[in-house]
Amino acid sequence: MHSKLINRRVQMQLTVTAIFVEDTEISKEFYVDVLKQTVAMESEGTYVSFESGLALWQTKMATETIFGAAKKFDGHSFELCFETETLEEDFKKACDAGAGIISKIEPQPWGQMVFRMFDPDGHIIEIAEPLAHTVQRFLDSGYTHEQVAAVTHLPLEMIAGFAAEAE
């Protein structure tokens, strides 16, 4: 019996929809109390993610990270975050397609390699390496789980989970 080889392309995965907010605590309370969202992770008052994939990112921190300076928005105050195994290839594809590149591939304050661009309507799109790769890169460099947590602002349980998956 012959087995057929299936040409499988690794798909890019939408992992986070981040809404920019002025006060993450006030917004978190609203999303938890009113919209019944469950907090998955918090980071020092600047970022809250929910199990649903929705996230709240403090506007000043978000715009300083993305644009290098604080910025006010009149709409389009969110970004779609995708993770990909082929970051360099996807960056080249975006450039070749004439996408409005905001930033080349570069490390974020938490260590993840990302680039950002605008979609045709001006929405911010982030393309990132999988967060598990970021954690593994730190671990491979000799960081302890606690040190990785301090740099990435991820919970120790998440780091341990990524480490266990890599073994």
- For residue range 87-122, what is the model confidence (pLDDT) as tens digits? 999 999 899 888 889 999 999 999 999 999 888 768
Residues contacting residue 24 through CB under 8 Å, at least 6 positions apart: 42, 45, 46, 47, 48, 56, 57, 58
- CATH T-level fold of 13-129: 2,3-Dihydroxybiphenyl 1,2-Dioxygenase; domain 1 (3.10.180)
Q: What are the tens digits of pLDDT across the range 25-61?
A: 999 998 898 788 999 999 988 999 999 999 999 989 9
Q: Give the angle subtended at the CA of 52 by the CAs of 106 and 128, to the nearest 5°.
A: 15
Average confidence (pLDDT) over 122-143 = 93
pTM higher than the cut 0.75: no
The token pair at 34 is: 């009113």
Rounded Cα distance, 29 and 36, in Å = 10
Residues in the chain: 167
Residue 134 parent element (H or E):
helix 131-140
Coarse DSSP helix, strand, coil percentages of the chain, rounded to the nearest 5 percent: 35, 30, 35
Average confidence (pLDDT) over 132-159 = 95
Q: Give me the phi and psi of 23, to 5 degrees please.
A: -130, 110
Which phi-psi region, left, alpha or beta, contains residue 150 (left: φ > 0; alpha: ψ -120 to 50)? alpha
Of 95, 131, 94, 100, residue with least CA distance to 113: 131
